[in-house]
Amino acid sequence: MFRKVLIANRGEIAVRIIRALREMKIASVAIFSEADRRSSHVQMADEAICVGPAPSAESYLVKEKILDAARQVGAEAIHPGYGFLSENSAFAKACTDAQMKFIGPDWRAIEQMGSKTAARRVAIAAGAPVVPGTEKGVSDPKAARKIAAELGYPVLLKAAAGGGGKGMRRVDHDSELAAAMSSASSEAERAFGSGEVYLEKLIERPRHIEVQVLGDEHGHLIHLGERECSIQRRHQKVVEESPSPLVLAKPELREQIGEAALRIARAVNYSNAGTLEFLADQTGRFYFLEMNTRLQVEHPVTEWVTGIDLVRWQIRIAAGEHLTLQQQDIRWLGSAIECRVYAEDPANNFFPSPGLLTRYTEPSGPGVRVDGGVYEGWNVPLDYDPLLAKLTVWGESRDAAINRMRRAVAEYRVLGIKTNLGLFAQLMSDAAWVAGDLDTGFLDRFMSQFKSEKPTEDSKMASMLAAARMAMQKPAATGVSEPESQWRATGRRGLLR
């Protein structure tokens, strides 16, 4: 087993990995940008090292700096978390070349499944259903119009090199296609370094269902069931749950979609944790969409219902251990729901809301888990994704989980910035949500009836008093002097530059 692991990430996922390492008696090393000098993951880690200024392109995304940091502290392995370099095959290969274990799949699998068009070809060869579309990128508008006519409008233009809604355009008419191709390609080039786009038939009102797989480096691979991820904004997930309400209505679907996921994963000799994403229509017919060759943000809901610690298994598998779990041993108990708590304003088109957390109190109690990376007094920076925490709950049934989430959201207290907690409070009481009548356009329709909560005079005054109190107690974040980091103050080993 590893003695020391460097975490090439920040925020709540870095905290999550540090906790797993501590339970396994493995030393943890955090990296941080200058904007994250006082962040939770830096304070919690056994060691920490600065890798550059605030922009991620100059810190968290610089492969050479991260590898150099790992060498300096003597780390034997690197956990990439999700986002940043987690699906960068060149980084995974660089780790391997530097004789540092990359805690994730082999770089060849990342490279093969990182291209959506290549992943489609793998799925087709494996006999898995895919959305009708092109297997290669398209660049000629004339050829694209011919393909779109054969598929039938509406169609979807998608970036071949990445996801998250970037480089994606819906096209309803032939006259819109050329302009959509140009803008989608430009956006894809900026986001992923590749302007390649491809065409898919648009499935109206689909559900987004994904399957968690886990495999060792000795050829043993299993699936851990599905997650429903249909509650999205701009193709970014906001609420996830397991099991899917569709699977609750059609239990046979879990085995069918799970086996399709395993066929695709086996085709690329996949190891470690990964997720196969599918679109499903309301009848349960499903189509392969893409593969995420990493840990997912929403992994806690799978951990709740299966009782399996995915991060711990990631580390054990990377250390060469055999996966002792068998498919027939996996059981799914109850229901779990995750809400991604963001520093953003739902009433203002989800605009980011950085700033000082003048009050921050997380919910707790039976069946409640908060994977957080912030604390009261922390300045939420504008430089990164505005995710504050992942609030997950478990209940013996979906109704019980919904009721528990209502209670947990009501207990959550955040002052000083805007969050989407008010959105969750209303969503959890929505009749269609409670009935499980979901699709990827659900949140867009729901927002038309969303009522923004106006801050009360009491909350305004509490926020002002808290900010004033913190200003008297703490030096300004832009001050010249730098207070001692907590991990130094508590006597933990550290490297700070």
Cβ atoms of residues 213 and 223 within 8 Å: yes
- Choose the catalytic residue: 227, 294, 316, 340: 294
Q: Which of 226, 223, 213, 206 is nearest to 285 (CA)?
A: 206
- The per-residue DSSP string of 138-181 comes to B--HHHHHHHHHHH-SSEEEEESS--TTTT-EEE-SGGGHHHHH
Cβ atoms of residues 16 and 296 within 8 Å: no
**Stretch (H or E) spanning 395:** strand 387-395
- The per-residue DSSP string of 307-369 comes to ---HHHHHHHHHTT------GGG----SEEEEEEEESEEGGGTTEE--EE-SEEE---STTEE
* Both tokens assigned to 108: 């060849």
User: Other C-beta atoms within 10 Å of 165: how many?
Assistant: 16
User: Other C-beta atoms within 10 Å of 455: how many?
Assistant: 12
Cβ atoms of residues 243 and 212 within 8 Å: no
Rounded distance between C-alpha atoms, residue 324 and residue 303, angstroms: 17
190 is catalytic: no
Report the SS3 class of residue 244: coil
* Both tokens assigned to 54: 């605030």
| Cα–Cα–Cα angle for 418, 192, 106, rounded to 5 degrees | 105
Q: Which of 296, 272, 258 is nearest to 215 (CA)?
A: 272
Q: At what angle do helices 63-73 and 89-97 cross, to 10 degrees?
A: 30
* Both tokens assigned to 225: 């069931």
**Stretch (H or E) spanning 257:** helix 252-267
Write the CB contacts of 213 (distance below 8 Å, at least 6 apart in sequence).
Answer: 221, 222, 223, 224, 261, 262, 265, 270, 273, 274, 275, 276
Q: Which of 78, 105, 101 is nearest to 275 (CA)?
A: 105
Which residues are tagged catalytic? Answer: 294
